[in-house]
Amino acid sequence: MTVSAPGASRTRLVLIPSYNPGPKVYDTVRSARAQWTPVWVVVDGSTDDSAAGLQAMAAQDDGLRVIVLPHNVGKGAAVLHGLDLAAAQGFTHVLTMDSDGQHPAQLIPDFMAASSAQPAAMVLGVPVFAADAPRLRVNGRKVSNAWANLETLWAGIGDSLFGFRVYPIEPLRRVMHGQRWMRRFDFDPEAVVRMCWLGVKPVNLPASVKYFRPDEGGVSHFNYLRDNLLLTWMHSRLFLGFVLRLPLLLVRRVRGD
């Protein structure tokens, strides 16, 4: 059985890493499926029974695939698992989005169209926050954005943390298989910096973001101390990499590459 959704793409898919997302994941997947085919969910060792619920959905929907990892390995590692499977099946691009309902599924076709127009680029969502968005989260990302733009010599990264994006698969796999980082919360910002270093240009599009309160079914795994320490360590590594690559980045800037 196949639910009502657009015709299946043979080159681009929606990839949703998911870890203990709460009930919002079902609405997220339904919304994504209403906009795109196929949609893959990588269940990253969840212990909240969402794997069973998603597998039941997939049993009724040929456009939905659910991949269940036995243990929690982190967002980046879950994405990489999906990338490897997608590449093996001939897909060239993935749109990544979170499973908690924060990202705008209705914009999937627009982001895929932008990717089709510039297939060598990565299409990055730039979050448009509602008035009730947590100020700590909104203002805190400015630090990571400043570092990411410095580390790429202002290559044009609109937002380093927002995970609603379209990546060309092979450059991202090359980056991730080339080193052991980017496996957890550090995935999103490190991916855009390293992809820029590889010569993949960013295209920025605005995208609304919604933060749900716990009473609305919102679930957050963000730990302020742990994850900010992880980001600090990540940017320390990236800054060293930036210094080593600075001559190449300067040459690119002069050439306009």
Per-residue model confidence as pLDDT tens digits over 225-249: 666 788 889 999 999 999 999 999 9
Least confident of 77-81, 133-137, 188-192, 252-256: 133-137
Task: Give bridge partners of residue 207 from the DSSP assignment.
Answer: 127
Task: Specify burial of residue 229 (Cβ count, 10 A radius: 0-12, 13-18, 19+).
Answer: exposed
* Mean of pLDDT values over 108-123: 98
Is residue 170 within 8 A of residue 88, CB to CB? The reply is: no
Task: Specify burial of residue 90 (Cβ count, 10 A radius: 0-12, 13-18, 19+).
Answer: exposed
Domain ranges of the chain: 12-255
pLDDT of residue 17: 97
Q: Quote the mean pLDDT of the chain.
A: 91
SS3 readout for the chain: CCCCCCCCCCCEEEEEEECCCCCHHHHHHHHHHHHCCCEEEEEECCCCCHHHHHHHHHHCCCCEEEEEECCCCCHHHHHHHHHHHHHHCCCCEEEECCCCCCCCHHHHHHHHHHHHHCCCCEEEEEEEECCCCCHHHHHHHHHHHHHHHHHCCCCCCCCCCCCCEEEEHHHHHHHHHCCCCCCCCCHHHHHHHHHHHHCCCEEEEEEEECCCCHHHCCCCCCCHHHHHHHHHHHHHHHHHHHHHHHHHHHHHHHHCC
Q: What is the token pair recorded at 79?
A: 């994405």
* Mean of pLDDT values over 168-187: 94
30-61: pLDDT as tens digits = 999 999 999 999 999 999 999 999 999 999 99
The answer to whether residue 214 scores a pLDDT higher than 50 is yes
pLDDT interval class at 2 (50, 70, 90): very low
Task: Give bridge partners of residue 212 from the DSSP assignment.
Answer: none
Q: What is the token pair recorded at 81?
A: 């698992």
The answer to whether residue 80 scores a pLDDT higher than 70 is yes
pLDDT interval class at 133 (50, 70, 90): confident
Place of tokens 């001559």: 247
Greater model confidence, 226 or 130 = 130
* Mean of pLDDT values over 15-21: 95
Is residue 158 within 8 A of residue 148, CB to CB? The reply is: no
Top-level class of domain 12-255: alpha beta
What is the distance between the alpha carbons of residues 185 and 176, in angstroms, rounded to a whole number? Answer: 14
* Mean of pLDDT values over 181-193: 93
Greater model confidence, 22 or 147 = 147
196-206: pLDDT as tens digits = 999 999 999 99
Greater model confidence, 9 or 5 = 9
Place of tokens 């929690």: 72
C-alpha pair distances (Å), 133 with each of 138, 206, 209, 212 = 7, 16, 9, 9
pLDDT of residue 255: 84
